[in-house]
């Protein structure tokens, strides 16, 4: 039986046709993956299904009945639920309270009956292999557990169709397995799951059917067993892409960054980094594997001179013998350090500034861009054009539009071009360089990272994508609870690349 049938759904934003005549059949009791590059129209389509957007034209049929949903509330009533990429939970309430929230108003003066609900929730959770304490405070949960709360919230509202938007982005490999087990169990119970993702491995692992979107169109829908990873990649970008970038052997030089015994406590006395030590040599990439929240962001902000208020630290971080601790970001930058922050939209760029203005953002103190008290606009424009060409940034340099008009991948390329281009660069710190970036751009970015390494730059790579860490790193430090628990040598990594699945599992053991 069909859970959802979409017929000729179209939606446009201004001149952008986000969805073009999309027809899709989603069968009941299956896991249906929708893949596509960023900007392919996946999120628009799910928002239409979930009632957050209404289509310009087209029809939607739900369980055999034509429907027109105009709000998420209606969608929920119709049995459709959605787990967003960013969870919408209240940290100060318990699991059970969060799940009931929004549903308790029908009996505003009646007792909440939270005990009963909590028992039900725990029961449903166990049934699908999702262990959770209904009385735990959500603020104390791990990301994986929070996601379970989101899913349970939908089940509590009797959702028959669950939409999950990039559900594995923030999970550890173990948590991903647990999530997939839960999804399979839900499928067995007759629920329908729609999975939005761009991780092809996961699509192949868990889905029954996979649909590929490209530039607003639905280009293919196939039973998952009939497709391979490269089939999907090819469908997504419309050409063959190397999923693996060629990584020639590195020739490391002198030690550039030496971090020794770094220990940090936050204002509340919690240990964020504990006796963390590693070194990076010129011309090598030091990858930090680990689940978010184990000290990555503390390490990066410390090395970039942005210690949080009340953070007490000891130990040393020397760049060619010069201490980085206690310096401001401007001073550290002038020593030849570049930093590509993980959340580039919030930290790396000013979206309202033009491309050329962003191309010098953070490097605007360099004399080469100056003219009197202002900027040498012609010089900056020439520099921008040169970078746009070299980094294959898709944009209109003549009009120099605000950066916000560019796709995520192109924005990341702007940041990359700017930071790699820093004169006298010695150390490049990269956090999640390809997060939210489409496959085509990932390839360019990886190639540029390796090129930069071969110029003799020392690199610190922090990424939640084990694939990426394994593919690029010269050495890998496994970060767990603020310390490097294990380090893989260059030889081990080279050998590990040939048996990727097992090697990733090995790494996984050291970070959990």
Partner 1 sequence: MLKKLLPLATPLLAVTAALLLSALFIFATGRDPVAIYGKMFAMTLGSDYGAGQIVFRATTLVLTGLAVAIPFKVRLFNIGGEGQALAGLLAAAAAGTALPEGTPPLLAITFCSAAAVFAGGSVGLFAGWLKVRHGVNEVISTIMLNFIVHAFVGYMLTWHMAVPSTVHTTEIIESAKLPMLDGLLGIWKKSPANMSVLFALAGSLLCYIVLFRTRTGYEVRAVGIRPEAARYAGIDARWHVLGAMAAGGALAGLAATNLVLGYKHYYEAGLSGGAGFLGIAVALLANAHPLWITASAFLFGFLEYGGLTVNAYVPKDIFMIVQAITILMILALPKLPLVKRLQGLLSPRSEP
Residues of the shown chain interacting with partner 1 in the complex, contacts defined by CB under 8 A:
13-16, 18, 39, 41, 43-44, 47, 304, 306, 328-333, 339, 341, 346-353, 357, 361-362, 364-365, 370, 373-375, 405, 407
Pick 82 or 282: Cβ nearer partner 1: 82
Bridge-based pairing of strands 65-67 and 57-62 is antiparallel
Q: Least Å distance between CB 331 and partner 1?
A: 8
Phi-psi region of 51 (alpha: psi -120 to 50; beta: other; left: phi over 0): left
Pick 37 or 160: Cβ nearer partner 1: 37
CA distance 412 to 349: 9
461 closest CA partner among 444, 443, 479: 479
Pick 230 or 328: Cβ nearer partner 1: 328
Q: Least Å distance between CB 44 and partner 1?
A: 6
405: exposed, middle or buried (C-beta count within 10 Å: 0-12, 13-18, 19+)?
Answer: middle
DSSP state of 94: B
Pick 43 or 192: Cβ nearer partner 1: 43
Q: Least Å distance between CB 350 and partner 1?
A: 5
444 in Cβ contact with 391 (< 8 Å): yes
3-class DSSP assignment, residue 354: strand
Beta bridge partners of 161: 80, 192
User: Which residues have C-beta within 8 Å of that of residue 312, sequence separation ≥ 6?
Assistant: 264, 265
CA distance 170 to 176: 9
The H or E element that residue 133 is part of is none
Pick 15 or 501: Cβ nearer partner 1: 15
Rg from Cα positions in the chain: 24
Residue 172: HSE in the Cβ half-sphere, 13 Å Cα cutoff: 23
The two three-digit tokens of residue 249, written as one number? 């052997």
Q: Least Å distance between CB 13 and partner 1?
A: 5
Q: Least Å distance between CB 471 and partner 1?
A: 27
Q: Least Å distance between CB 7 and partner 1?
A: 21
Pick 141 or 332: Cβ nearer partner 1: 332
Bridge-based pairing of strands 337-340 and 427-431 is parallel
Q: Least Å distance between CB 341 and partner 1?
A: 6
Pick 79 or 305: Cβ nearer partner 1: 305
Q: Least Å distance between CB 15 and partner 1?
A: 5
The H or E element that residue 193 is part of is strand 192-197
Pick 87 or 375: Cβ nearer partner 1: 375
């Amino acid at each position: 039986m069909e859970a959802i049938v979409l017929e000729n759904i179209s939606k446009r934003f201004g001149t952008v046709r986000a969805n073009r005549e999309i027809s899709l059949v989603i069968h009941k009791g299956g896991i249906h993956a929708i893949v596509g590059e960023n900007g392919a129209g996946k999120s628009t389509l799910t928002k239409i299904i979930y009632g957050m957007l209404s289509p310009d034209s087209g029809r939607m049929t739900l369980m055999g009945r034509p429907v027109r949903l105009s709000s998420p509330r209606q969608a929920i009533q119709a049995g459709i639920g959605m787990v967003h990429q960013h969870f919408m939970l209240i940290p100060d309430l318990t699991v059970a309270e969060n799940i009931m929230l929004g549903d308790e108003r029908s009996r505003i003066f009646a007792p909440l009956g939270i005990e009963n609900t909590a028992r039900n929730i725990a029961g449903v959770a166990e049934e699908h292999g999702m262990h959770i304490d209904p009385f735990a405070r959500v603020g104390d949960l791990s990301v994986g557990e929070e996601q379970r709360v989101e899913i349970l919230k939908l089940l509590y509202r009797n959702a028959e169709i669950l939409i999950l938007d990039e559900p594995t982005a923030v999970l550890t490999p173990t948590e991903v397995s647990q999530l997939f087990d839960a999804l399979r169990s839900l499928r067995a119970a007759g629920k329908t799951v729609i999975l939005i993702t761009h991780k092809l491995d996961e699509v192949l692992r868990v889905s029954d059917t996979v649909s590929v979107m490209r530039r607003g169109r639905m280009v293919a829908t196939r039973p998952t067993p009939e497709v391979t990873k490269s089939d999907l990649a090819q469908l997504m970008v419309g050409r063959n892409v190397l999923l693996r970038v060629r990584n020639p052997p590195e020739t490391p030089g002198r030690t550039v960054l030496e971090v020794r015994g770094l220990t940090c406590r936050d204002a509340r006395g919690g240990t964020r980094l504990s006796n963390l030590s590693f070194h990076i040599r010129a011309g090598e990439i030091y990858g930090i594997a680990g689940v978010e929240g184990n000290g990555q962001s503390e390490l990066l902000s410390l090395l970039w001179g942005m210690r949080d208020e009340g953070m007490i630290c000891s130990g040393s971080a020397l760049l060619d013998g010069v201490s980085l601790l206690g310096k401001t970001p401007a001073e550290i930058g002038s020593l030849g350090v570049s930093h590509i922050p993980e959340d580039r939209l919030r930290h790396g760029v000013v979206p309202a500034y033009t491309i050329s203005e962003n191309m010098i953002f953070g490097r605007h103190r360099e004399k080469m861009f100056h003219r009197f008290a202002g900027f040498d606009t012609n010089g900056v424009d020439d520099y921008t054009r040169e970078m746009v060409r070299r980094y294959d940034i898709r944009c209109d340099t003549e009009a120099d539009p605000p950066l916000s008009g560019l796709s995520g991948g192109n924005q990341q390329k702007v940041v990359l071009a700017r930071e790699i281009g820093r004169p006298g660069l010695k150390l490049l710190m990269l956090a999640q360089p390809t997060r939210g970036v489409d496959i085509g751009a990932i390839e360019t970015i990886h190639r540029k990272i390796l090129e930069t390494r071969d110029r003799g730059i020392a690199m610190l790579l922090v990424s939640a994508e084990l694939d990426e860490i394994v593919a690029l790193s010269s050495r890998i430090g496994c970060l767990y609870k603020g310390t490097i628990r294990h380090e893989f040598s260059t030889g081990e990594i080279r050998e590990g690349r040939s048996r990727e699945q097992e090697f990733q599992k090995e790494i996984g053991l050291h970070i959990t």
